[in-house]
């Protein structure tokens, strides 16, 4: 077992010593066998939550109604979940009832794909009830049991299939793929936030083109906000071959760019996906930079307004399209801006009121904006006396337009 499991092994041992079963399950087992890095470790156990709490001194009920208890040990938390079955999938969504069970196989049976239904014992032994090892070897995403049934139970699994296709660079098995094609409309029943999480992971995966291809082929895209009827434009994404997106901002900016949305349309589109306001703001900062890179017409003011992070993110998106300039060159351009934020301007409202005799009000704001633009463009030095002088001139002359 990779070293990352070491601290957790004693936890499993202790559960076993108390007469119960405990296994590593889910993504951590899959990723270990693939030799990929692991980000979180899930433990499944035959012990009921109350029994886990009796075994360990310090625990936290992090999701006790689902059977999840966190064991605290020397400041580290280990989440264990009792084996369970799920039933009563109303509305093609999450089950409304979970039942704790003592049998590992019952728990593994309810999992989405064979590669996600492996269990690993503390001693390194793999439990493979659904041929997951074989499918891992052949890079296949295959539903556990009948795909049709499984997608009826929980339609989100269809999005999970395409995201794993991208994340792992795997192929979706034929019957599973057919199941998705047949049931794609059920995605309508799923909360957009949950679809979004899977879609973002798809775009940030190892092979987004593979995931997107299945996303388009199966028709899943038709049940996603703002994407239905956009197959042609979305297919353009399949022709891009330099995928190396690093975060959600970059992922969404790519999508918006591909769809050819204006700033305003982009905001609307992202709100339909229920992304955070912060993400929308950040993407909107990137778009003018992407446009500037595209037309080789990147002004200092565009860089200034975007800020460093959005400039870097924009260049990453531009790389996909062949519009980027070398990161170092772009950062040099950015770093040579006379000021990086409004706060660095040598004057502020107070100074202009006191020293340039400008009254508080809309004109003051306009003057500050104008000075900022001139300083950013290198037309004025960022020097207090100079800016006060300039402000007085503007006051006399008046502002036509900003």
Residues 26-65 interacting with Mg ion (rule: CB under 5 A): 27
Which residue, 27 or 226, has its beta carbon nearer to Mg ion?
27
Q: Which helix (H) or strand (E) holds 396?
A: helix 384-397
Name the minimum Å distance from CB 175 to ligand ATP.
17
Name the minimum Å distance from CB 182 to Mg ion.
27
Q: Is 135 assigned a ligand-binding role in the annotation?
A: no
Name the minimum Å distance from CB 112 to Mg ion.
12
Q: Does 288 bind Mg ion (CB under 5 A)?
A: no
Strand partners, 120: 24, 126
Name the minimum Å distance from CB 132 to ligand ATP.
10
Q: Is 292 assigned a ligand-binding role in the annotation?
A: no
3 state SS for 226-289: CCCCCHHHHHHHHHCCCCCCCCHHHHHHHHHHHHCCCHHHHHHHHHHCCCCHHHHHHHHHHHHH
Q: Is 111 assigned a ligand-binding role in the annotation?
A: yes
Which residue, 190 or 391, has its beta carbon nearer to ligand ATP?
190
Name the minimum Å distance from CB 190 to ligand ATP.
10
Q: Is 27 assigned a ligand-binding role in the annotation?
A: yes
Give which of Mg ion, ligand ATP, none residue 135 binds (C-beta under 5 to 8 Å, depending on kind).
none
Residue nearest Mg ion, Cβ-based: 27
Q: Is 40 assigned a ligand-binding role in the annotation?
A: yes
Strand partners, 43: 24, 80
Which residue, 136 or 303, has its beta carbon nearer to Mg ion?
136
DSSP string covering 29-91: HHHHHHT------EEEESS-HHHHHHH-SSEEEEEGGGTEEEEEETTEEEEEEE-EEEE--GG
Task: Determine the Cα–Cα distance for residues 301 and 291; give it in Å rounded to an integer.
Answer: 13
Q: Which one, of 84, 235, 368, 339, lies nearest residue 360 by Cα? A: 368
Cβ proximity of 30 and 116 under 8 Å:
yes
Give which of Mg ion, ligand ATP, none residue 237 binds (C-beta under 5 to 8 Å, depending on kind).
none
Name the minimum Å distance from CB 348 to ligand ATP.
47
Cβ proximity of 139 and 168 under 8 Å:
yes
Give which of Mg ion, ligand ATP, none residue 311 binds (C-beta under 5 to 8 Å, depending on kind).
none
Q: Is 264 exposed, middle or buried (0-12, 13-18, 19+ CB in 10 A)?
A: exposed
Which residue, 116 or 257, has its beta carbon nearer to ligand ATP?
116
Specify the DSSP class assigned to residue 316.
Answer: H
Which residue, 32 or 116, has its beta carbon nearer to ligand ATP?
116
Which residue, 150 or 284, has its beta carbon nearer to ligand ATP?
150
The site for ligand ATP (CB under 6 A) is made up of: 26-27, 42, 111-112, 116-117, 154, 156-157, 160
Q: Is 160 assigned a ligand-binding role in the annotation?
A: yes
Helix axes 308-321, 327-335, angle to 10 degrees: 150
Residue 65, both tokens: 């109604």
Name the minimum Å distance from CB 197 to Mg ion.
11
Cβ proximity of 111 and 129 under 8 Å:
no
Residues 1-30 interacting with Mg ion (rule: CB under 5 A): 27
Binding site feature residues for CTP: 27, 30, 111, 154, 157, 160, 163
Binding site feature residues for ATP: 27, 30, 111, 154, 157, 160, 163
Binding site feature residues: 27, 30, 40, 42, 111, 154, 157, 160, 163
Binding positions for Mg ion, rule: CB under 5 A = 27
């Amino acid at each position: 077992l990779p070293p990352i499991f070491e601290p957790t092994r004693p936890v499993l041992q202790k559960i076993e010593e108390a007469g119960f079963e405990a296994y590593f399950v889910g993504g951590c087992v899959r990723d270990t066998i693939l030799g990929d890095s692991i980000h979180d470790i899930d433990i499944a156990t035959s012990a009921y939550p109350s029994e886990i709490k009796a075994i360990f001194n310090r625990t936290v009920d992090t999701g006790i109604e689902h059977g999840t208890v966190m064991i605290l040990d020397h400041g580290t938390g280990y989440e264990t979940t009792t084996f369970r079955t799920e039933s009563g999938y109303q509305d093609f969504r999450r089950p409304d009832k979970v039942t704790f069970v003592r049998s590992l196989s019952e728990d593994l049976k309810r999992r989405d794909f064979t590669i996600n239904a492996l269990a690993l014992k503390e001693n390194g032994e793999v439990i493979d009830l659904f041929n997951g090892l074989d499918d891992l070897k052949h890079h296949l995403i295959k539903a556990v049991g009948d795909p049709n049934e499984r997608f009826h139970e929980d339609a989100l699994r269809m999005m999970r299939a395409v995201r794993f296709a991208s994340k792992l660079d795997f192929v979706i098995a034929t019957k599973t793929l057919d199941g998705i094609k047949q049931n794609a409309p059920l995605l309508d029943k799923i909360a957009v936030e949950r679809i979004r999480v899977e879609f973002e992971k798809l775009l940030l995966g190892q092979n987004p083109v593979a995931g997107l291809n299945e996303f388009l082929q199966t028709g899943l895209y038709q049940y996603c906000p703002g994407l239905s009827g956009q197959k042609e434009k979305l297919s353009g994404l399949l022709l891009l071959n330099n995928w190396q997106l690093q975060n959600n901002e970059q992922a969404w900016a790519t999508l918006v760019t591909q769809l050819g949305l204006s700033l305003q349309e982009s905001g609307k589109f992202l709100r339909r996906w229920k992304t955070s306001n912060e993400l929308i703001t950040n993407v909107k900062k990137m778009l003018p930079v992407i446009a500037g890179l595209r037309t080789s017409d990147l002004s200092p003011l565009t860089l200034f307004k975007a800020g460093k992070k959005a400039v870097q993110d924009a260049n990453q998106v531009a790389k996909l399209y062949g519009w980027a300039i070398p990161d170092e060159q772009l950062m040099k351009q950015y770093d040579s801006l006379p000021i990086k934020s409004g706060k660095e301007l040598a004057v502020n409202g107070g100074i202009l009121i006191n020293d340039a005799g400008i009254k508080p009000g809309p004109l003051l704001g306009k003057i500050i904006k104008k000075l900022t633009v001139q300083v950013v463009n290198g037309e004025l030095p960022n020097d207090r006396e100079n800016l006060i002088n300039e402000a007085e001139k503007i006051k006399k002359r008046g502002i036509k337009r900003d």
